[in-house]
């Protein structure tokens, strides 16, 4: 690719102080070659140059947790009683075909680009997200889900997981898209399966993610062996034990403490849980809007911060939150906290990259990947501001994104996706959504 020089009214590296009238030079390898004030960043002969004008140039945003394969289900499951909500999604998902997953995942990636998101932490069971990310140019981790609450399912579950990983490694994995593993949740995997997946992750050096401590029903299930999840499994003839510990401690003792896990949600954790997360090198994907809509509670950000746990924000699936706006997620996550504007920005840039184990992104610095997004500063709140980080965290929204680049390649530009037949992608997504409306009815 050609070298590219970008200039903007504000450069917001997140890893350092903002630069007024800043510029970035992207090398032919897709990495940042120079960064600084516009007056000193060179324009090499033959390089492409673009002045973004009244805009802020940020690192590409990081969505630490979502479910791209469920994009076609947006807004269709309205029951907010969590166990019933989960069951309803599973029932519809079981009736979906590969074309539905594929169309939804591809449109989900394009929607991420339009919202400034360049790196995605996706959890799914069909592989559609990994293929969409690989084909359309996103960066991130595709965590392959595995299920099996009955210990008798262990061998079959592991066999299916290994087969899925092999297929994804051959067709979708790259330096840009890594394939990880995800024992889904404490109420959908046995202790034996959770431990075996953690062992596989450690041996194969794969990232691991798990839904964790999301609801009170989950806590009742693990700690006391009762509640909606326990009743459901007993109805299937699966025995349920009373473990007398939190879901987090149950999972770590099963073997996740060796896998530096990404723990999704962590709404119902106490101080001891937080210290245990920090102790095993884990990180948390905080999805406040989804948690709010489903009525499962709020993660205690201050408690997690006190334990020095890396906390990043995610949107969860659009089935839950109906939005991919990380600016809004960060605002909701940090209510009542003492986080600085830079720390709030970090929740969906640098901390997000760290939570996914993504190297050389989530920041604007020489040598980092040129994963970038530009925000319009036309709104009155930005006029003559001297605290651009504070203004962005207070007022910016995903709809303010004008451009997005991954590795220096422009993947979104003012309502268009260069090199993509957006009409065809939108049409396929709309047909999948129409089919889902029939299933949901």
Q: What order of strands is seen across the sheet that includes strand 117-124?
A: 61-66, 117-124, 139-146, 177-183
| Per-residue pLDDT tens digits for 414-439 | 999 999 999 999 999 999 999 999 98
Res 77: pLDDT: 85
pLDDT digits over 346-398, tens only? Answer: 999 999 999 999 989 999 999 999 999 999 999 999 988 889 999 999 999 99
Residue 337 has what pLDDT?
86
How far apart, in whole angstroms, are the C-alpha atoms of residue 61 and residue 363? 9
Question: Quick check: 371 and 406 in contact, CB under 8 A?
Answer: yes
% of the chain beyond a pLDDT of 90? 92
Q: Rounded to 5 degrees, what are φ and ψ at 48?
A: -80, 145
The pTM for the full model equals 0.97
Q: Which residues is 372 bridged to in the sheet?
A: 59, 405
Q: In terms of Cα–Cα distance, which of 360, 341, 347 is closest to 304? A: 347
- Token pair of 344, please? 């709030």
pLDDT by residue for the chain (441 residues), tens only, comes to 899 999 999 999 999 999 999 999 999 999 999 999 999 999 999 999 999 999 999 999 999 999 999 999 998 888 778 888 898 899 999 999 999 999 999 999 999 999 999 999 999 999 999 999 999 999 999 999 999 999 999 999 999 999 999 999 999 999 999 999 999 999 999 999 999 999 999 999 999 999 999 999 999 999 999 999 999 999 999 999 999 999 999 999 999 999 999 999 999 999 999 999 999 999 999 999 999 999 999 999 999 999 999 999 999 999 988 899 999 999 999 988 889 999 999 999 999 999 999 989 999 999 999 999 999 999 999 988 889 999 999 999 999 999 999 999 999 999 999 999 999 999 999 999 999 999 877
Contact 245, 253 (CB under 8 A): yes
Q: Which of 112, 115, 164 is nearest to 138 (CA)?
A: 112
Taking every pair of C-alpha atoms in the chain, what is the biggest distance, in angstroms? 71
């Amino acid at each position: 690719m050609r070298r590219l020089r970008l200039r903007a009214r504000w450069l917001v590296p997140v890893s350092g102080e903002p630069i007024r009238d800043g510029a970035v030079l992207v090398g032919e390898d897709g990495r940042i070659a120079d960064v600084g004030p516009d007056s000193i960043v060179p324009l090499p002969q033959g390089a492409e140059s673009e002045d973004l004008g009244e805009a802020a140039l940020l690192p590409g945003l990081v969505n630490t947790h979502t479910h791209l394969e469920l994009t076609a289900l947006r807004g269709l499951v309205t029951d907010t009683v969590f166990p019933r909500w989960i069951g309803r999604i599973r029932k519809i998902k079981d009736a979906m075909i590969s074309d539905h997953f594929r169309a939804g995942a591809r449109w989900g990636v394009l929607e991420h680009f339009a919202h400034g998101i360049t790196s995605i932490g996706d959890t799914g069971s069909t592989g559609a997200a990994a293929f969409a990310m690989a084909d359309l140019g996103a960066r991130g981790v595709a965590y392959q889900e595995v299920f099996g609450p009955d210990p008798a399912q262990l061998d079959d579950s592991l066999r299916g997981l290994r087969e899925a990983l092999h297929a994804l490694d051959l067709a979708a994995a790259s330096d840009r898209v890594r394939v990880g593993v995800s024992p889904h949740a404490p109420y959908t995997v046995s202790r034996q399966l959770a431990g075996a997946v953690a062992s596989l992750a450690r041996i194969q050096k794969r990232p691991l993610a798990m839904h964790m401590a999301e609801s009170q029903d989950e806590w009742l299930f693990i700690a006391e062996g009762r509640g909606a999840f326990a009743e459901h499994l007993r109805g299937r003839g699966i025995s349920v034990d009373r473990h007398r510990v939190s879901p987090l401690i149950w999972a770590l003792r099963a073997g996740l403490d060796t896998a530096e896990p990404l723990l999704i949600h962590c709404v119902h954790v106490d101080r001891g849980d937080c210290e245990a997360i920090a102790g095993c090198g884990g990180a948390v994907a905080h999805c406040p809007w989804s948690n709010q809509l489903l009525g499962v509670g709020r993660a205690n950000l201050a408690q997690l911060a006190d334990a020095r746990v890396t906390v990043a924000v995610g949107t969860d699936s659009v089935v839950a939150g109906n939005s991919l706006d990380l600016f809004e997620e960060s605002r909701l996550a940090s209510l009542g906290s003492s986080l600085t504007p830079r720390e709030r920005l970090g929740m969906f840039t640098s901390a997000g990259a760290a939570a996914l184990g993504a190297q050389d992104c989530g920041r604007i610095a020489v040598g980092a990947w040129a994963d970038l997004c530009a925000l319009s500063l036309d709104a009155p709140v930005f006029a003559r501001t001297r605290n651009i980080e504070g203004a962005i965290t207070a007022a910016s929204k995903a709809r303010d994104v004008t451009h997005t680049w991954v590795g220096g390649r422009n993947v979104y530009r003012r309502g268009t996706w260069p090199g993509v037949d957006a009409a065809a992608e939108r049409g396929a997504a709309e047909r999948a959504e129409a089919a889902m409306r029939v299933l949901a009815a």
